[in-house]
Structure 1
Amino acid sequence: MIRVLVADDEAMIRAGVRAVLTTDPGIEVVAEAGDGHDAVELARRHRPAVAVLDIRMPRMNGLEAATEIRSAVPETGVIMLTTFGEDDYILQALGGGAAGFLIKSGEPEELITGVRAVAEGAAYLSPKVAARVVAHLAATGAGTLAGRRSAARDRVGTLTARERDVLAFLGSGLSNGQIARRLHVVEGTVKAHVSSILARLGVDNRAAAAVVAHEAGIVPPTPPQQ
């Protein structure tokens, strides 16, 4: 059973997230919070597998709460819920160790897919979020969109063929175990590939590597079925 904490200052959003998640018999919402401070306290108490956090909350915003939760309960993966216009926050969250990013107006199936992926140690970026991050990086002086894509392809070009395969699956939101099954190798081999990929790409976490995968255009348009 995947235990989940949901935090959003809008009761209707919390109810909607809970309703979607509880359609999956393998997911249990164990706590809800209306602000970031309570989210941290509830994460300490319940130690959920995944915390789904709104970015903008009173007392302590989602970014601050994510940092506190990752420090206090490192086994808890964090998914950020975003709306349009919060791209700067998404970039901050990427650097802060968040493993998943979903748009509130996205498809319900994406929420379940994202929670399951992060619970299994993967990184999950909604395709819409990934597209926005890539475009936002280009629009804020980090290079033109075409230039960033070309640079990403060059970075990916330094990887071995097997590492590129692993990166593409990682960008699709698959865990090490899922990647191992698809490539018919042991999970330890995939873990070693992921460590090498992060080092070669010069990124700190799987979510940041997933952004590079999307920039380079190696992620399938539709994520593989979980």
Structure 2
Amino acid sequence: MTRRSSEIAPLTILMADDHPMFRGGLRQVIESQPDLKIVHETGDGQDALRMALQLKPKLAILDLDMPGKNGLELAAAIERERLPVRVIILTMHREEDLFNEAVDLGVLGYVLKDSAAEDILHCIRAVADGQHYLSPAVSAFLVNRRTRAESLRRAKPGLADLTPAELRILRLIARNKTSKEIADELHLSIRTVDNHRFNICTRLELHGVHSLVKFAFDHKSEL
């Protein structure tokens, strides 16, 4: 075995931010680490998605505000396409609703742009290992989220009886997905999805499609 083939492959990263100066500074931080490799950088969300589909990097570091597609739309597309790409949002935004939307989409890292370089590198390594990493300034949002989730489970004990498939479908309903869209995403028949929806209504004592959709949407960040 040659030395080259025995070396550990670098951690591949796609970087998307529409501010070239910030992107250049971030590139310097990342490239200071010999085991990290930027395989593509762009200022356009649509280009980022195209290259994520093509390159399938380990990580995608995304700004929220970009032309083409914003960071949340990109995260949603990565989840929808079932790409093996873990997402970090790197942003100036401190709003709790944006944080919750990102977490709902499976984002593991949420870091503010004024974070120290060491924090960004810690985030990259934590997310690469499948862990969550949040800037301290937004960590309280996660506590709030968990507190609300615990309160909801006390108010709706039937949530504990949902199967993993039913809970996933409930979360997709919360994202305003139709039965057909859920069926396509989960590779199920529409009839199977509708059966799951019926079972969810029964367990949660909800009456009718509208009450299910309202419950899911109202409690999206607690599910």
- Confirm or deny a common fold (TM above 0.5): yes
State whether residues 12 and 59 of structure 2, in contact with CA within 8 Å, keep that contact through their aligned partners in structure 1.
yes
| Equivalent of residue 27 in structure 1, options 11, 22, 36 | 36
| Equivalent of residue 104 in structure 1, options 108, 113, 136 | 113
Matched residue of 2:130: which SS?
coil
Give the C-alpha shift of residue 131 in structure 1.
2.6
- Alignment partners' CA distance in 1, 2:143 and 2:44: 29
Q: Does residue 72 of structure 1 match 2:108?
A: no
User: Cα–Cα, structure 1 residues 73 and 24, in superposed 2: closer, same or farther, change >3 Å?
Assistant: farther
Structure 1: gaps (5+ residues): 143-147, 156-210, 212-226
Which residues in structure 2 correspond to 1:22-171 (within 5 Å)? Answer: 22-72=31-81, 74-132=83-141, 134=143, 148=147
Percentage of identical aligned residues: 38
Partner of 2:159: none
Give the C-alpha shift of residue 81 in structure 1.
1.0
Structure 2 length-normalised TM: 0.59
State whether residues 79 and 101 of structure 1, in contact with CA within 8 Å, keep that contact through their aligned partners in structure 2.
yes
Q: Which has the larger radius of gyration?
A: 2
- Alignment partners' CA distance in 1, 2:18 and 2:131: 27
Structure 2: gaps (5+ residues): 1-9, 155-221
1:20-65 deviation digits (Å, cap 9, x = unpaired): 1111111011100112111101111211100000011112111001
| Equivalent of residue 10 in structure 1, options 1, 5, 19 | 19
Task: Between the two structures, name the one with larger relative contact order (CA 8 Å, sep ≥ 6).
Answer: 1
- Alignment partners' CA distance in 2, 1:87 and 1:11: 27
Structure 1 length-normalised TM: 0.58
Amino acid paired to 1:45 = Q
- Alignment partners' CA distance in 1, 2:66 and 2:95: 13
Matched residue of 1:4: which SS?
strand
Amino acid paired to 1:35 = D
Matched residue of 1:5: which SS?
strand
Matched residue of 2:54: which SS?
helix
Matched residue of 2:62: which SS?
strand
Give the C-alpha shift of residue 79 in structure 1.
0.3
Matched residue of 1:97: which SS?
coil
- Alignment partners' CA distance in 2, 1:68 and 1:19: 28
User: Cα–Cα, structure 1 residues 42 and 103, in superposed 2: closer, same or farther, change >3 Å?
Assistant: same
